[in-house]
Structure 1
Amino acid sequence: MGRVTQRRPVLRIRGGASVTRPDTLAAEEPLEIRLNGRSLAITMRTPGDDFALAAGFLVSEGVLGSADELRNIVYCAGATADGSNTYNVVDVRTAPGLALPDFTLERNVYTTSSCGLCGKASLDAVRTTARWTIDADDGSTPPVRLTPELLAALPDRLRAAQRVFDRTGGLHAAALFTPRGELLDVREDVGRHNAVDKLVGHALQSGALPLRDTVLLVSGRASFELAQKAVMAGIPVLAAVSAPSSLAVELAAETGLTLVGFLRGDSMNVYAGEHRITLRAAASSG
């Protein structure tokens, strides 16, 4: 079944009866991300889309912003003592002459599948300067406007596209939609921040950044790190089926990001960027 999933025996108990049978689990393995040969971060992820994950991670770190700044990404042969390739170490090589951020700030380079920013030296260290404003300054991209009805339909469309979740029940998902509700891309991973990095990394590799004319939907909560990743990719709307954190709301308010939480059925909370939500006149007066 590949490295995305694994089969393991499980004792299943239902109504007092028990049976041992194989179960499908979402795979979780470490991925070390190197930048020009230098170890930068280790994240726990679901194998697959590793190059996109690494590229997306470097977008959120302010290293990459366009495909021409990326020379190549390779798996590191000889990553173990015996010289074998585990396919768990990637090296991102940037274009010659590209200026890199200062990574000398104290930071914990190990990131778990639930928190991509643990160990940052301070809040200021993660407020990376974005390359783009969320709305285009030159008018080349029409402002994004969404109705609550369109937003309400997106979680079901995301759920229908989650192939690995159907087999394991153990993965987060992130999806990009157009403002008309059309699904552009969806990625799954044990880490919600990894799923977003895979989306952004694919966009970088295809020359699609900034993603100004899109909506990002995540299957869990909206943390500060996910809001930051949206801003760094130029995404104007972040919607989540669960709650946002206080720092996510603060960042959204500062940058103009529309942040929607508790998107369930026809109900939702808009925490910032209300100007992109088009309400019926009767509904908006209440």
Structure 2
Amino acid sequence: MKAFLPPTSYEYATIQKVAGTHLTEASDVLAAEEPLEIRLGYGPAGQREHRTLSVTMRTPGHDFELTAGFLLTEGLIRSRAELTGVLYCPDVEKAEERENVVRAELAAGLPLDMPRLERHFYTSSSCGVCGKTSIEAVHAAACPVLPADGPHVAASVIHELPGRQRAAQELFEQTGGLHAAALFSPAGELLLLREDVGRHNALDKVIGAALLADQLPLHQHVLLVSGRASFELVQKAAVAGIPIMAAVGAPSSLAVRAAQDFGMTLCGFVRQQRYNVYTHPWRIRGNS
């Protein structure tokens, strides 16, 4: 499964390649990184207001999915019905802002926590929105209850996930500089993959795609993320109802505690036919 890559998702650069003492000039493909400004449209019909919510550094592409996933996983919406539309803002001042500013239109009757909106929601490509300091704060966002009776996944399937994800990472293949998040069926079928310079953005794009397709909660899915498993990635997966999360890298201590508390199966170091199961191993069959 190859993702569609808009031409804005990568750039070319002239470089000098050094091998020992030999130097040659060559062309290299770079993963694009540009700011995306997320604005909200809210209020009753005829009295709509607009406000900038967040600026995130991302790889252009799937911007509406990123916006939808971000709003859901940050607790600003809880369902597809609360988001009436996402569009690129037509009233930008500079040409370079085109397709770098989006507006999410919220349902007219949606109550908003205005003090929360007044926070400074700047997000870098390497870390999520700062400020969450406890698992209890995430519980307050009303995460879906994860299933207590499945799904069950064969241990052999977990081993296969990184290879299947990597084979579908078209942009990583060209640049070597992107994270990925991918959804699989319990049998290991790749269902959806998104890439981005930011780990959190890649996952928000996946969750946003599922939200816009009315597929939430993702109770019958397995998530694989590149890199490490942070608390915020576990939190985002929990909001989407994902019961099994695997990571190529290590989990943090708070990620493990959160997964245990949410009832999520969390695997780390999934590579080279090895992995560790940190929480709720009962969902994985065939481990010995």
- Assess same fold via TM > 0.5: yes
Residue 44 of structure 1 aligns to a residue whose secondary structure is strand
CA displacement at 1:155 relative to structure 2: 0.3
Aligned to 1:21: 26
Deviations 1:20-48 (A, max 9, x none): 11110000001111122211111100000
Residue 7 of structure 2 aligns to a residue whose secondary structure is coil
Q: Which runs of 5+ in 2 are unaligned?
A: 1-5, 42-49
**TM-score of the superposition, structure 2-length normalised?**
0.89
CA distance in 2, matches of 1:182, 1:273: 22
Deviations 1:67-88 (A, max 9, x none): 22211111112323x5774211
CA distance in 1, matches of 2:96, 2:200: 29
Deviations 1:157-215 (A, max 9, x none): 00000000111000000100000101110000000110000000010100000001000
- 2:151 pairs with 1:151: no
CA distance in 2, matches of 1:151, 1:109: 35
- 2:100 pairs with 1:88: yes
CA displacement at 1:129 relative to structure 2: 2.2
CA distance in 1, matches of 2:125, 2:221: 25
List structure 1 segments (4+ residues) > 6 angstroms apart after TM superposition. none
Residue 3 of structure 1 aligns to a residue whose secondary structure is helix
The 10-residue stretch of structure 1 (263-272 or 219-228) with the greater mean CA deviation from structure 2: 263-272
The 10-residue stretch of structure 1 (59-68 or 21-30) with the greater mean CA deviation from structure 2: 59-68
**TM-score of the superposition, structure 1-length normalised?**
0.90
CA distance in 2, matches of 1:108, 1:126: 19
Q: Which runs of 5+ in 1 are unaligned?
A: 137-141
CA distance in 1, matches of 2:139, 2:92: 33
CA distance in 2, matches of 1:25, 1:83: 22
% identical equivalent positions: 50
Aligned to 1:176: 183
Q: Does structure 2 retain, via aligned residues, the 8 Å contact 1:62–1:101?
A: no
CA displacement at 1:65 relative to structure 2: 3.0
Match of 1:117 among 122, 129, 137: 129
CA displacement at 1:279 relative to structure 2: 3.0
Q: Does structure 2 retain, via aligned residues, the 8 Å contact 1:77–1:84?
A: no
Question: Residues 103 and 267 of structure 1: is their aligned pair in 2 closer, same or farther, counting only changes over 3 Å?
Answer: farther
CA distance in 1, matches of 2:69, 2:150: 24
- 2:193 pairs with 1:186: yes
- 2:141 pairs with 1:129: yes
Structure-to-structure mapping, 1:195-274, within 5 angstroms: 195-274=202-281
- 2:92 pairs with 1:79: yes
- 2:288 pairs with 1:277: no
Residue 251 of structure 2 aligns to a residue whose secondary structure is coil
Aligned to 1:139: none
